[in-house]
Structure 1
Amino acid sequence: MKMKQMNKLRADQGGFTLLELLVVITLIAALAVGALIAYDASAIRPKRPRQPIPTSKSTTRFANTKR
Structure 2
Amino acid sequence: MIHMIKKLAALIEVRKIVTLMFALGFLYLALTLAFAPSESLPIFTMVLGYYFAKSTALDGTGDSK
Normalised-by-shorter TM-score class = 0.3 to 0.5
Task: Say which structure, 1 or 2, has more relative contact order (CA 8 Å, 6+ apart).
Answer: 2
Q: How does the TM-score come out when normalised to structure 1?
A: 0.35
More helix by share: 2
Q: How does the TM-score come out when normalised to structure 2?
A: 0.35
Select the structure of larger CA radius of gyration: 1
